């Protein structure tokens, strides 16, 4: 087995050459046009760019990649790997928040070179000049920048850092997860084994290339396995979700991966008429991960798409994160998802106790090969038995090297020990094991404690979405606001106003307050209703609760439609603004 992804991919290119392809479906008016690259072409272009990179003095530091969706990014990323240069995938900044985020990435990585596409070079160069005039900007798609025949394998090993995967949680202090070639090779092997990927498969996707699931699960996984790839931009999918299913049909797609919200879009926005012309019988694996997985979302997708041939065993719930490269646990293909109904009161006391008609949890499968999963009491740091909820700790060769240039945070997160065993990665996620199956219950930092009860915000958020179609598929967050007297609940909920009909916005707020109060035996929450795009989300679709809390307290929430705030909470916000 090769120790680096470069050596592995070179072997794939030599063995498969023109027999395997990466096909990008580019929008041209209302049509999607193929942009096809063979393995041989990708290898040649990567060697050419790598030859050029070795002549650049700035390449001794991480190199930022700012590309629109498409094959140009993949060619640049592979070129960096082929040169032994640390690649830093980044989103193209489009607004103030994303500009702050990318500026933070640029500074944190210490990059002196930005690679981009011709169409973006001038605006990117202008923006970067205002940020830091010393950063060079080069478009890599205008012409070949180097000689592929002059390329030589760099002096890299499994321990060499391949790329920095920046986490999408914080816009002010982004952290770069340092992923080595050995980390990448181990995790890709684990994904290939668990998802049973073979070299004749077709992977279909749309995910952002700067997100760990998009980069490792969509772009690099088929290259590792020697499979074919068909992909489109996130905007192409979000505008018309049926296009993903049309690609599965046309190219006989076998595997895809997406966060839960994408499957909600397929269930809600693919019409019966659109479904009627589809054959989805080739789709063997629909991996669901990167955010809380909802049982009823999967049930709705299976029910809606079964007439088109989607197998009831297609869903593959999984759990992972950038800090473990990508995948830590996953279900097994060909098996229906595992659901567990548990007693809600026991759940509040950190125990999984099966109970009919209780809170439904989705199993995320068992650990993939080489990963050690432990459930640990975050206070005592002792391993907990089956059925008890604690912090999820992960160990094994897929666990990344730490955070770039952040030794203290690396030590805190990546060097944990329990009862003399370690090192482990502290994930910050809460969950429990039951017969080897991992069940996720929430985030440690998001846990809400009211009157001694442990409440998980996503449970309340789901109840809010049930109140009306205008909020059914819109993002929202539930937060705790600590006033001088006690904790108060705050709901910030996106609303699709076109679906309100005759319902007054104030009545929707009242329904939400009543649903939370009755359903969870709590005082009625504070409610802020906003335009559905105003709720902060990560690139994978996760809601950003801390970011929304800060925006609420700073009175900078965008798109407010209606709010009902208690005087004590309003006073807290006023005091924060006054400081």
437 has a pLDDT exceeding 80: yes
Question: What pLDDT was estimated at residue 570?
Answer: 82
Question: What pLDDT was estimated at residue 205?
Answer: 97
Question: What pLDDT was estimated at residue 522?
Answer: 79
Among 202-211, 423-432, 519-528, the minimum mean pLDDT is found in: 519-528
* CA geometry: angle 207, 191, 165, nearest 5 deg: 50
Question: What pLDDT was estimated at residue 360?
Answer: 92
Domain boundaries of the chain, sorted by first residue: 5-317, 338-444, 447-578
Tokens 């070129």 correspond to 79
Q: Mean of the pLDDT values across residues 240-265?
A: 95
Question: What pLDDT was estimated at residue 132?
Answer: 64
Q: Which CATH architecture group holds 5-317?
A: 3-Layer(aba) Sandwich (3.40)
Query: Which candidate, 227, 291, 284, 281, places its Cα nearest to that of 261?
Result: 291
Q: How confident is the model at residue 552 (pLDDT cuts 50, 70, 90)?
A: confident
416 has a pLDDT exceeding 90: yes
485 has a pLDDT exceeding 70: no
| Spatial distance between the Cα atoms of 164 and 104, rounded to a whole number of angstroms | 13
In degrees and rounded to multiples of 5, residue 24 shows phi and psi of -100, 130
| Spatial distance between the Cα atoms of 532 and 552, rounded to a whole number of angstroms | 16
| Spatial distance between the Cα atoms of 77 and 128, rounded to a whole number of angstroms | 20
Question: What pLDDT was estimated at residue 290?
Answer: 75
Among 123-137, 167-181, 347-361, 541-555, the minimum mean pLDDT is found in: 167-181
42 has a pLDDT exceeding 90: yes
* CA geometry: angle 63, 213, 201, nearest 5 deg: 110
| Spatial distance between the Cα atoms of 477 and 529, rounded to a whole number of angstroms | 11
387 has a pLDDT exceeding 50: yes
Q: How confident is the model at residue 172 (pLDDT cuts 50, 70, 90)?
A: very low
In 440-504, which residue ranges form alpha helices assigned H by DSSP? 457-465, 469-472
Question: What pLDDT was estimated at residue 180?
Answer: 98
Mean pLDDT for the chain overall: 91
478 vs 23 pLDDT, higher one: 23
Query: Which candidate, 71, 126, 290, 52, places its Cα nearest to that of 63?
Result: 52
Of all residues in the chain, the percent with pLDDT exceeding 70 is: 95
Among 176-180, 446-450, 491-495, the minimum mean pLDDT is found in: 446-450
Reported as a single tens digit per residue, the pLDDT across 114-145 is: 999 999 999 888 888 777 668 899 999 987 78
Q: Are 496 and 559 in contact, with CB atoms under 8 Å apart? A: no
| Spatial distance between the Cα atoms of 32 and 53, rounded to a whole number of angstroms | 33
Q: Which of 16-20, 95-99, 342-346, 450-454 has the highest mean pLDDT?
A: 16-20
Reported as a single tens digit per residue, the pLDDT across 203-220 is: 999 999 999 999 999 999
29 has a pLDDT exceeding 90: no
With residue 35 as reference, give the H or E element that holds it: strand 31-38
Question: What pLDDT was estimated at residue 55?
Answer: 92
Question: What pLDDT was estimated at residue 375?
Answer: 97
577 has a pLDDT exceeding 60: no
Query: What does DSSP assign to residue 199?
Result: T
Q: Mean of the pLDDT values across residues 372-398?
A: 96
| Spatial distance between the Cα atoms of 180 and 173, rounded to a whole number of angstroms | 22
In degrees and rounded to multiples of 5, residue 26 shows phi and psi of -95, 135
Per CATH, 338-444 and 447-578 having the same topology is answered no
Question: What pLDDT was estimated at residue 575?
Answer: 64
Of all residues in the chain, the percent with pLDDT exceeding 90 is: 66
Q: Are 464 and 491 in contact, with CB atoms under 8 Å apart? A: yes
Question: What pLDDT was estimated at residue 96?
Answer: 73
Q: Mean of the pLDDT values across residues 75-93?
A: 96
Question: What pLDDT was estimated at residue 14?
Answer: 95
171 has a pLDDT exceeding 50: no
- Give the number of other Cβ atoms within 10 Å of residue 578's Cβ: 6
Question: What pLDDT was estimated at residue 1?
Answer: 66
Question: What pLDDT was estimated at residue 574?
Answer: 65
Domain 447-578: assigned CATH number: 3.30.300.30
Using DSSP's 3-state secondary structure scheme, residue 312 falls into coil
| Spatial distance between the Cα atoms of 493 and 534, rounded to a whole number of angstroms | 9
The neighbouring-strand residues paired with 299 are none
CATH class of 338-444: mainly beta
In degrees and rounded to multiples of 5, residue 337 shows phi and psi of -60, 150
Q: Mean of the pLDDT values across residues 99-114?
A: 89
With residue 5 as reference, give the H or E element that holds it: helix 5-16
Q: How confident is the model at residue 170 (pLDDT cuts 50, 70, 90)?
A: very low
* CA geometry: angle 527, 532, 533, nearest 5 deg: 125
93 vs 159 pLDDT, higher one: 159
* CA geometry: angle 214, 259, 241, nearest 5 deg: 90
41 vs 471 pLDDT, higher one: 41
Q: Mean of the pLDDT values across residues 338-347?
A: 92
């Amino acid at each position: 087995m090769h120790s680096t992804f470069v050596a592995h991919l070179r072997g794939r290119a030599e063995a498969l050459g023109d027999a395997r392809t990466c096909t990008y479906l580019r929008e041209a008016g209302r049509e999607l046009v193929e942009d096809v690259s063979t393995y041989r072409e990708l290898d040649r272009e990567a060697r050419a760019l790598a030859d050029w990179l070795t002549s650049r003095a700035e390449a001794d530091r991480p190199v930022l990649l700012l590309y629109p969706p498409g094959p140009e990014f993949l060619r640049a990323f592979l070129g960096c790997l082929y040169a032994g240069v640390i690649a830093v995938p980044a989103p193209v900044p489009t607004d103030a928040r994303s500009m702050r985020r990318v500026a933070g990435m640029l500074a944190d990585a210490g990059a002196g070179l930005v690679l981009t596409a011709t169409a973006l070079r001038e605006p990117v160069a202008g923006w970067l000049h205002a940020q830091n005039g010393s950063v060079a900007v080069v478009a890599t798609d205008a012409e070949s920048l180097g000689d592929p025949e002059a390329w030589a394998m760099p002096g890299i090993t499994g321990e060499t850092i391949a790329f920095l995967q920046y986490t999408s949680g914080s816009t002010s202090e982004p952290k770069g997860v340092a992923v080595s070639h050995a980390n990448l090779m181990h995790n890709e092997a684990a994904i290939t084994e668990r998802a049973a990927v073979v070299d004749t498969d077709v992977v279909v996707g749309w995910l952002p290339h700067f997100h760990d699931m998009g980069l490792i699960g969509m772009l690099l996984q088929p290259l590792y396995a020697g499979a074919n790839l068909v992909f489109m931009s996130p905007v192409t999918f979000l505008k018309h979700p049926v296009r993903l299913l049309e690609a599965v049909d046309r190219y006989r797609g076998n595997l895809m991966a997406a966060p839960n919200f994408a499957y909600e879009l397929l269930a809600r926005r693919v019409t019966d008429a659109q479904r009627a012309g589809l054959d989805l019988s080739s789709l063997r694996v629909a991996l669901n991960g990167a955010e809380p997985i909802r049982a009823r979302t999967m049930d709705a997708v299976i029910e809606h798409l079964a007439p088109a041939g989607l197998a009831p065993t297609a869903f593959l719930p999984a759990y992972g994160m950038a800090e473990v490269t990508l995948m830590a646990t996953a279900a097994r293909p060909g098996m229906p998802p595992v659901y567990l109904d548990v007693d809600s009161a026991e759940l509040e006391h950190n125990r999984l106790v099966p109970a009919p008609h209780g809170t439904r949890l989705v199993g995320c499968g068992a650990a993939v090969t080489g990963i050690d999963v432990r459930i640990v009491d975050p206070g005592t740091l002792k391993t907990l038995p089956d059925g008890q909820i604690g912090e999820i700790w992960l160990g094994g060769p897929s666990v990344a090297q730490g955070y770039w240039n952040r030794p203290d945070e690396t030590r805190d997160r990546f060097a944990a020990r329990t009862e003399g065993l370690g090192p482990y990665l502290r994930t910050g996620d809460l969950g429990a094991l039951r017969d080897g199956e991992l069940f996720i219950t929430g985030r440690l930092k998001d846990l809400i404690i009211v009157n001694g009860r442990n409440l998980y915000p996503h449970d309340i958020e789901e109840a809010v979405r049930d109140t009306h179609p205008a909020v059914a598929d819109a993002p929202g967050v539930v937060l705790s606001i600590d006033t001088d007297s006690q904790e108060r609940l705050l709901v910030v909920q996106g609303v699709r106003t076109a679906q309100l009909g005759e319902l007054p916005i104030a009545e929707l707020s009242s329904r939400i307050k009543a649903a939370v109060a009755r359903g969870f035996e709590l005082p009625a929450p504070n409610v802020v209703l906003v335009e559905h795009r105003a709720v902060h989300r990560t690139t994978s679709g996760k809601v950003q609760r801390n970011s929304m809390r800060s925006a609420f307290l700073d009175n900078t929430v965008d798109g407010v439609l209606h709010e009902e705030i208690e005087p004590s909470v309003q006073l807290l916000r006023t005091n924060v603004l006054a400081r």
